Amino acid sequence: MTLRRLLLVLILVAGFGYFITHFEVRRTGSSGDRSSPLTITEAHAAPEYTNTELNNISVYKRVVPSVVNITAGTVTLDFFMGLVPQQDQGSGFILDKQGHILTNYHVVADARNVEVQTHDKRRYQAQVIGKDRLHDLALLQINAPNLVPAVLASSRDLQVGQQVFAIGNPFGLSGTMTVGIISAIRSVRSPEGGAPIENAIQTDAAINPGNSGGPLLNSQGEVIGINSMIAQNGAEQNAGIGFAIPIDTAKAVLSDFQKYGHARRPSLGVRTLPIGPDLAEQMGLPAQYGVLIESTIPGGAAERAGLHGGNQVAYLGNMQISVGGDLIVAIDGQEITNSQDISEIMNGHQPGDAVTVTFYRGRRKMAAHVTLGEAHDQSA
């Protein structure tokens, strides 16, 4: 029995020795297969950019020195009615070498002090030169050397589908550029609750808190709008729908600041509904285009000239409208199809100017001479 056990042990030992001398034990795990070294493939030349990428890079390098970060110091009340300092951030862009900067009214509305940081990281105290709550615009000025002014284009002939760039300081991340297109051009309500912003540029270029006041650019890097607000779906962040104030509106406001020290915008004093062929047919109107006066502002230009607002309530889908008012089809001989057309004509006038309004009252075509009033926060 003892001899058997001895032979069994000798067989086991011999088998183990044979195994470790004839087979390679490979370890696997986080270190990988030692017999297969890691290799990577690297580019052997500098990257080649597409024409689109080259233009994006060129626009950014040319414009970013003109964009500034704005910090507005305000004071709020805490639970115990104590004063608590607070800082809000936004963007702006340089207009000239004298240090004038354009931004949104809501960026600096209640600020006790305003600080501007330029692209070279230098900080300057800013003076608020003018504010226009109605159009959500503000003009600042700093005393700084070597400023790079932005180039302003026109917003008159913008097209849906046109490529645009937004540069600003979203969430305090200075010098951020996003790319998109013009999604629509429409009238939207001002973030300050004033009159609608006519010809507002809707874009899908990412706009977030902190972008307000920064430039919206065309593919040449020229300013076509001032980024102002975003459509929110329960959160203050980009949802793919942002809006910019057209630069032509800003030019008119800047002209008023220079001439009068404050914004003076002309107004017809009406609230209107745009009319197209389908709606005109449904309502039995005498023209297939125009804007229907839903109401006139009490004491406003249209009311003083004898124009009539609606006198009957109706529903357009779920929206309540007022019908029965005059249908405006032209101003000074220029065809009117929507409120944007009226806005463009107003941009060429001042309060007190007289215009000829062509309209239908029932089936009768008429004309009235209207002396333009001045737009105020309560007017539409």
Query: Tens of pLDDT along 70-115?
Result: 999 765 555 544 555 567 889 999 999 999 999 999 999 888 899 9
pLDDT at 347 (0 to 100): 73
CATH 2.30.42.10 positions along the chain are 266-374
Task: Evaluate whether 296 touches 269 at the Cβ level (below 8 Å).
Answer: yes
Report the greatest alpha carbon distance in the chain.
131
Burial 278-301 (b: 16+ CB within 10 A, else e): ebbeebebeeebbbbbbbbbeebb
Q: Identify which of 27-41, 75-89, 170-184, 340-354 has the greatest average pLDDT.
A: 170-184
Of residues 374 and 239, the one with the higher pLDDT is 374
Active site residues: 106, 136, 212
**pLDDT tens digits, residue range 300-339?**
999 999 999 999 998 888 888 889 999 999 999 999 988 7
Q: Name the phi and psi angles at 111, rounded to 5.
A: -70, 135
How many whole angstroms from its chain centre is CA 63?
17
- Please give the model's pTM, rounded to 2 decimal places: 0.68
pLDDT band at 263 (very low <50, low <70, confident <90, very high): confident
CATH number listed for the domain at residues 61-141: 2.40.10.10
Q: Taking the CA atoms of the chain, what radius of gyration do you get in angstroms?
A: 33
The pLDDT tens digits for 159-178 are 999 999 999 999 888 899 99
What is the distance between the alpha carbons of residues 157 and 159, in angstroms, rounded to a whole number? 6
Q: Give span(s): CATH 2.40.10.10, the chain.
A: 61-141, 163-247
Q: Which CATH superfamily is domain 163-247 in?
A: Trypsin-like serine proteases (2.40.10.10)
Summarize the confidence of residues 18-39 as an average pLDDT. Answer: 60
Q: Which CATH architecture has domain 266-374?
A: Roll (2.30)
Task: Return the sign of the alpha-carbon dihedral for residues 91, 96, 98, 104.
Answer: negative
